[in-house]
Structure 1
């Protein structure tokens, strides 16, 4: 998994995600980005059951993935056959044709902001091991940074003009956020972009507000425990 996380920072990042099926002990992986289930887009999928399951969730508008995206929490379903029938009635009725038995959804989260979901699928029921759960959380964190670094169109709030002043104010704001929040410059830039994205703001205008002291980003809240949506007894 350490090698996979390293490869995520290179041009073969999608190959690295595919290779994660082995150490995570799953049969399919997908990565979705978006603010809500309605505008979520599949950024990458291992194909097969992963494509089928994501298509089903998008068509029906329900499932563990949309729930994880909406709540910003992990949703683990160890055995779909034992899940509450009123939770995702249409999905549970159709998912049996895909041979999906277990689903694990990890939010791609930056502080309180959820950018997307990492979904792991298994064709046999059963929970992830504690090591696999830790690896999945590490993979979700690395994918969050990768998505922000790649600047997918879905996450961009506006066109950024190629002007010297634009770059100057952005660098100045990044430095100020770095000092105020006591975080590295790279993380400060991510926090800037995440704030602009979550509030549908122009990135340059957000930077100007910080430089002029009209805006001060709040420290990242303490993490809360993820919701473990175990199978129903």
Structure 2
């Protein structure tokens, strides 16, 4: 899988259109279908890309019912692996599982999309049969959530038409640059990802990047790594 994974990761890291998202994932994990959706505390529920109508319907059911594997993956920050969802899903998601009775869905696998502490959404795969994912496949999918999370969040911020940092006054730009350096030092992120995290935090809190930067520099907020997940620390 290593060669295929490298090709797929590189392809997703260069994606600039929604419809380019699904094919690389199915090339790596050849199940019946896949979707990428926003949901959680930060972004409104929306399917960004779906390989077929069935997986799009699974998203819609979860949006409408506010329950399902994707919600649990986003809330926990961990993958949810339902290898026989019609037989085992009732305890966790009774309404969602009941809605699956008339659909050819045997297994569902949901992986969280996050940028730092921000819930971005989930990538969900399904198969018409009961299937399992081995450890290698699960680890590969968790790695793929990194470029997917960045793409989905950047897409959201672009659609929100937020002001360009270059348009800010020099002092504000300098403070944001300094705060970006703090985040890089705390988390070991690339400069682009550290800047994106500050921008996303501002978007989620309906504040300016300058205000978030000041909180970081004055140590009123910060980020820590716990179990390979970045969390907000206040």
TM bin, normalised by shorter chain, reads 0.7 to 0.9
Q: Point out where structure 1 has 5 or more consecutive residues left out of the alignment.
A: 225-233
Rounded to whole Å, the distance in 2 between the matches of 1:208 and 1:20 is 39
Rounded to whole Å, the distance in 1 between the matches of 2:117 and 2:175 is 25
| RMSD across aligned positions (CA) | 2.7
State how many pairs are aligned: 221
The 5 A counterparts of 1:81-230 are: 81-152=86-157, 159-160=162-163, 162-165=167-170, 166-211=172-217, 213-223=218-228
Rounded to whole Å, the distance in 2 between the matches of 1:176 and 1:204 is 14
Judged with a 3 Å threshold, the aligned counterparts in structure 2 of structure 1 residues 210 and 112 are, in CA distance, closer, same or farther, namely closer
Judged with a 3 Å threshold, the aligned counterparts in structure 2 of structure 1 residues 65 and 177 are, in CA distance, closer, same or farther, namely closer
Higher relative contact order (CA 8 A, sep 6+): 1
Deviations 1:18-39 (A, max 9, x none): 2321321211111111334993
Residue among 34, 49, 59 paired with 1:54: 59
Judged with a 3 Å threshold, the aligned counterparts in structure 2 of structure 1 residues 67 and 183 are, in CA distance, closer, same or farther, namely closer
| Partner of residue 83, structure 2 | 78
TM-score (norm 2): 0.80
| Partner of residue 20, structure 2 | 15
Q: Point out where structure 2 has 5 or more consecutive residues left out of the alignment.
A: 230-234
TM-score (norm 1): 0.80
Tell me which protein shows more strand as a share of its residues: 2
Judged with a 3 Å threshold, the aligned counterparts in structure 2 of structure 1 residues 42 and 206 are, in CA distance, closer, same or farther, namely same
